Every structure is written in structure tokens, then in C-alpha cells.
Amino acid sequence: MKREFWKRLCAIVGNEHVYTDEPMKKHTTFRIGGAADYYVMPHDMGEIAEVIRVCREFGEPFYVLGNGSNLLVGDKGYRGVILQIFKNYGDITVEGREMKVQAGALLSKVAKTALEHGLSGFEFAAGIPGTVGGAVVMNAGAYGGEMKDVLKEAVVLTREGEILTLTGSELELGYRTSVIAKKEYIVLEARIGLREGHIKDISGRMEELKEQRVAKQPLEYPSAGSTFKRPAGCFAGKLIMDAGLRGFSVGGAMVSKKHCGFVINNGDATAEDVRCLINEVIKRVEEKFEVTLEPEVKLLGEF
């Protein structure tokens, strides 16, 4: 049955786009994670929908991955199919002041394309290390900007295999959430609306934000970005720092000394190291401040 399943996947996307026992540490920004049973890289909507249909037919679990920038995969890996919507599905089309973007496009590439066409409004996302698909699901944001500010509509695939086009209001975009996340839809495309601007001003703003990131974030270490969601009325990083956890470590995982809101892979960290550290940070912050931190990083697979 396993070989038949593999053959069906290969028939959809091609043998060269189906890996077996693929180490997930190669595909996450944490550089952590055991092997996935199957790693599949489709090229278009039809292939994505067909791979999911075959997964359902064979009863195989699946998980949609972009750039792996907000994910911690367990040391024992993932029993099922990783469906990577990334480089093979990342076209960008500029239509006036709007951009039609496939889900696998990197936010940095979208921002660069907007800059080249003199379009302003996407500068905030230039340094976020993720794809458009993931950004839409979680309403990604930084430096005062969010996807909901620019997103006109998104094309999604439902769990039942139906393709829907949802408008901005229908997406129910909130702080790190959306109807897509709640209903487990899969983002296929997004339509982004921007405004005309001067290339020099847009470039200057992007460079300004880049300098802030370099100065304040531990970009020199593997991480999943900001580890915790922002609690109401305060900042996770400050709570962690005030709890005396700057530089706190478990194995190879460490609370960044540069920015306490980041958990970093300080050298050969395991997924269990990271998970234990996150749980300990939550425990100590709650004990000291009676605030419960909620992880922004998603956990996947077997630990």
C-alpha cells in the first residue's frame, strides 16, 4: 500500500518532486526536525488539490509547509505527507496597483517586486522570512503593518477540496489568526492592493526597517522568529527579560540575549530542547506576572 501511495504521488507531481524520509531540519528556519515520510512539491492548483485528494483516499495525514519559518518539527519526524507550497508555486503578477501572488512566493520577493514597480504599502513585510500563504493564514505583521492592511482577497482550498475566493472581510483577519486558520483552509493565491509611491522613499523605508531588524533581532542564529504572541497590554520579550530569563537555556536551545522574545538554536538544539525551554518560560512568566504566554511557533510531528 505504501508503494502504491508513493507511485500515485509521483504520477501527480513527478518522481523528482517526491522525497521519502526527508529530514525536516533542511526545511525549517529552526534547522531542527526529524524525517517526514513523504515530502511533495507541487507546481499548481491542480496538483495541490490532487495530492490532497490522494492523501485522503489513502488515509495519510498531510501538512502544508511554506518556508518553514514558524514551525518546530519533532525529533522523531512526521508520519505523513509534507506538502511544500514554496518555490515551485511562487509566481507574482503586477496589475496596476495590485499584485496577484501565488502562495509560495516569499514575502521578501513580493516586497522587492512592489519596490521595482513603485508600489508602496508592503514595506513592513520585506524582512519577514515566510511565504504569502503562511502570512495570509496568520495575518502576519511587523512594524505597524499587517496583511489585513493590503489583502484584497485570497483563493483557498477547503478541506473538502472546494476552491473558494474570499474577500478581505470574509477572511476575518485578526491578530495572528484568520478564518483560514480556524477552518484549516489552504491558501493558493492572494490579491494585494497597494498605492503608488516613489521608489526612493519605498527603498529608504525598507532599508530603515532592515537596520532595525539587524540591530534588535538575533538574525545570526536559527530560529522561528518571534516565539510568543503578544499578550494584551504588554510585550512577551519584556516579560521574559523581567523574569530573569535572558540567556536561559535548555540543551542547545536558548532565550536570545539580544531579544528575549526569540528562542534560538544556539547549536545542535533538539526539538525537545526547544519545547522544554518554551514550557519553562511560560511557567516562570506565569508564576511571576500571572500572564500566560501563548506560543506563536507551531509544533508538528512526533517528539
Residues that are catalytic? 176, 226, 296
C-alpha cell at 153: 482577497
Angle, vertex CA 299, rays to CA 293 and CA 302, nearest 5:
135
Buried b (16+ CB within 10 A) or exposed e, 147-181: bbbbbebbbbbeeeeeeeebebeebbbeebebbbb
Smallest Cα–Cα separation from 216: which of 224, 204, 206, 225? 225
DSSP of 12-26, one letter per residue? HH-GGGEEEEEEGGG
Interatomic CA distance for residues 219 and 242, integer angstroms:
22
* Cβ atoms 40, 13 nearer than 8 A: yes
* Cβ atoms 73, 87 nearer than 8 A: no
